[in-house]
Amino acid sequence: MKPLLAILPALLLALSPLPVAAQETVPTTQAQIDLTFAPLVKAAAPAVVNIYTRTVVKERATSPFFDDPFFRQFFGDQFKSGQPKERVQGSLGSGVIVRTDGLIVTNNHVIKGADQIRVVLNDKREFEAKVIAAEERLDLALLKVDTKGEALPILSIRDSDELEVGDLVLAIGNPFGVGQTVTSGIVSGVARTNTGIGDFGYFIQTDAAINPGNSGGALIGMDGKLVGVPTAIFSKNGGSVGIGFAIPSNMVAAVVNAEGNGGKLIRPWIGAAGEAVTVDIAKSLGLARPIGVVVQQLYAKGPAERAGLKPGDIILGVNGREVEDPEGLRFRLATLPVGQTATLNVSRKGEPIDISVNLIAPPEDPAPHETLLDGRQPLSGALIVDLSPATGDDLNINAWDGVAIAKIKRGSIADRVGFESGDIIVKVNDSKIAAVADLAALMETTAAPWAITVNRGGKTKTFDLD
Question: Are 362 and 418 in contact, with CB atoms under 8 Å apart?
Answer: no
For 127-161, the three-class secondary structure string (H helix, E strand, C coil) is: EEEEEEEEECCCCEEEEEECCCCCCCCCCCECCHH
State which H helix or E strand residue 110 sits in. Answer: helix 108-111
Kindly report the number of other CB atoms within 10 A of residue 331's CB atom. 24
Bridge partners (DSSP) listed for residue 273 = 297
Kindly report the number of other CB atoms within 10 A of residue 264's CB atom. 8
**Three-state secondary structure call for residue 88:** strand
Bridge partners (DSSP) listed for residue 205 = 189, 245
**Three-state secondary structure call for residue 412:** coil
**Active site members:** 109, 139, 215
Q: At what angle do helices 326-334 and 249-259 cross, to 10 degrees?
A: 40
**Three-state secondary structure call for residue 357:** strand
Backbone angles phi, psi at 4, to 5 degrees: -60, -40
Question: Are 275 and 296 in contact, with CB atoms under 8 Å apart?
Answer: yes
Distance CA 151, CA 89 (A): 32
